């Protein structure tokens, strides 16, 4: 639902942007209709690219992203585009578009959107082909530099290149258009470049950490005490809630010891038995519930692989969570049947883990022997299991 709201918001912002710029440019009524068709064409291209990037995990590394952050950045760029419509030719800070959208999304989405903003400005309030070419070149430059900025490479050089390109490029195209140099264009370019650089510094520090891996944010959010599914489980089935919390706690520590994804193991450990929470105790019902709550794909894959009933674990994290849950269940059964003094915790844990490893359950998971030994070493020493 939130994804639909985001897409609708993007479409509304596109229409609003075109409407305002058409008013600024005194566009004729028949041209308004043409602009409407151009808006639809651009929106369809953007929608196709968004869905493609989402499904290939190129957007926030999350196939279930709701586009909220990208929508927020797109609306900001639309506002900047409207402000640019009031500015003189060859002074518009168009490099803001690719820098902001690349930090939130990626360079392809940044280039597509930045190109459209420039075309829109050219059609409505500019009409100068040299201005359009100049702005497109700046957008291409911005997309390339933003990709490097996103990867923390040569940041000082990026800002120097941004300022230099903002001065040189408009100066060249202004001369090609008018056959004369303009000091005001050079000064405006320098100011524009410094503004873009300042915004780039701010965006890199504010937005990049948020968009680096949206999946981890989601994995952490869904195991918080105020998450609806957590509150409901705590209210309706406190024993399962305690079990999930315990598995999650042990899985996090084991993941740290083995160098695996701790956020995924934390969420996977808590929700591993989600199928057992359902009325019919079905793995698929649990997976469907997870899908309905828009859990990240790599988490729902682990839930689908519950105890290898439908598919054996396919990742080291899935293998680790099964290992921890199976061990805790076995220890609980033994504690209920045998006095603590009658069994050796360490030997039992080693024996249980060796049996799980030799069963073939983890053959497809990619769990290395090094991973297994680190996990086993940690679990045998964990005081919470004694």
Domain boundaries, the chain: 2-212, 215-385
User: pTM to 2 decimals?
Assistant: 0.65
Share of the chain above pLDDT 70, in %: 92
pLDDT (0 to 100) of residue 213:
61
pLDDT (0 to 100) of residue 300:
92
Residues comprising the chain, all counted: 386
Confidence of residue 182 (pLDDT cuts 50, 70, 90): confident
Confidence of residue 106 (pLDDT cuts 50, 70, 90): confident
pLDDT (0 to 100) of residue 61:
61
Q: Pick one of 1.10.287, 1.10.10, 1.20.1070, 1.10.3210 as the CATH number of 215-385.
A: 1.10.3210
Confidence of residue 135 (pLDDT cuts 50, 70, 90): very high
pLDDT (mean) for 29-53: 89
Average pLDDT of the chain is: 86
Residues 6+ apart with CB under 8 A from 122: 128, 129, 131, 132, 135
10 Å CB burial of residue 215 (0-12, 13-18, 19+) is: buried
pLDDT (0 to 100) of residue 332:
81
Residue 155 pLDDT > 90: no
Distance between CA atoms of 169 and 166, rounded to whole angstroms?
6
Residue 152 pLDDT > 70: no
Residues 6+ apart with CB under 8 A from 362: 312, 313, 319, 322, 323, 356, 372
| Span 289-330, pLDDT tens digits | 888 888 888 899 999 999 989 999 999 999 999 999 999 988
pLDDT (0 to 100) of residue 322:
94
Confidence of residue 380 (pLDDT cuts 50, 70, 90): confident
pLDDT (0 to 100) of residue 64:
67
Between the two ends of the chain, the Cα-to-Cα distance in Å is 45
Share of the chain above pLDDT 90, in %: 33
Q: At what angle do helices 183-211 and 155-178 cross, to 10 degrees?
A: 140
Name the residue with higher pLDDT: 342 or 24: 24
Confidence of residue 339 (pLDDT cuts 50, 70, 90): low
| Span 42-101, pLDDT tens digits | 999 999 988 888 777 666 666 667 788 889 889 999 999 999 989 888 888 999 999 888
Q: Which range, of 118-127, 214-223, 277-286, averages the lowest pLDDT?
A: 214-223
């Amino acid at each position: 639902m939130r994804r639909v709201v985001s897409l609708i918001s993007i479409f509304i912002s596109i229409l609003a942007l075109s409407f305002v710029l058409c008013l600024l440019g005194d566009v004729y009524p028949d041209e308004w209709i043409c602009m409407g068709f151009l808006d639809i064409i651009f929106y369809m291209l953007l929608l196709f690219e968004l869905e493609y990037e989402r499904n290939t995990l190129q957007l926030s590394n999350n196939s279930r992203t709701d586009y909220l952050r990208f929508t927020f950045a797109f609306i900001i760029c639309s506002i900047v585009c409207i402000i640019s419509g009031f500015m003189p030719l060859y002074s518009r800070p168009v490099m803001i578009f690719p820098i902001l959208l690349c930090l939130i999304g990626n360079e392809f989405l940044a280039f597509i959107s930045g190109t459209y903003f420039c075309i829109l400005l050219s059609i409505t309030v500019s009409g100068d082909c040299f201005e359009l070419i100049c702005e497109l070149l700046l957008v291409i430059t911005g997309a390339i530099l933003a990709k490097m900025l996103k990867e923390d490479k040569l940041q000082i050089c990026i800002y120097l290149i941004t300022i230099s390109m903002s001065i040189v490029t408009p100066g060249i195209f202004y001369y090609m258009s008018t056959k004369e140099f303009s000091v005001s264009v050079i000064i405006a370019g320098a100011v524009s470049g410094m503004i873009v650089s300042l915004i780039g510094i701010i965006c890199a520090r504010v937005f990049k950490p948020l968009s680096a891996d949206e999946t981890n944010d989601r994995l952490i959010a869904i195991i918080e005490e105020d998450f609806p599914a957590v509150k409901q489980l705590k209210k309706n089935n406190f024993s399962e809630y305690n079990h999930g919390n315990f598995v999650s706690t042990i899985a996090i520590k084991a993941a740290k010891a083995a160098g695996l994804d701790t956020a995924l193991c934390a969420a996977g450990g808590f929700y591993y038995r989600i199928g057992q929470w359902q009325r019919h105790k079905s793995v698929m019902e649990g997976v469907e519930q997870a899908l309905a709550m828009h859990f990240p794909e790599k988490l729902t894959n682990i839930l689908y692989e519950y105890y290898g009933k439908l598919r054996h674990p396919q990742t080291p994290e899935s293998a680790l969570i099964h290992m921890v849950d199976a061990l805790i269940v076995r220890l609980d059964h033994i504690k209920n049947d045998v006095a603590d003094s009658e069994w050796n915790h360490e030997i039992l844990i080693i024996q249980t883990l060796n049996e799980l490893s030799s069963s073939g359950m983890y053959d497809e998971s990619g769990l290395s022997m090094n991973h297994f030994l680190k996990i086993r070493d940690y679990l045998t020493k964990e005081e919470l299991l004694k």
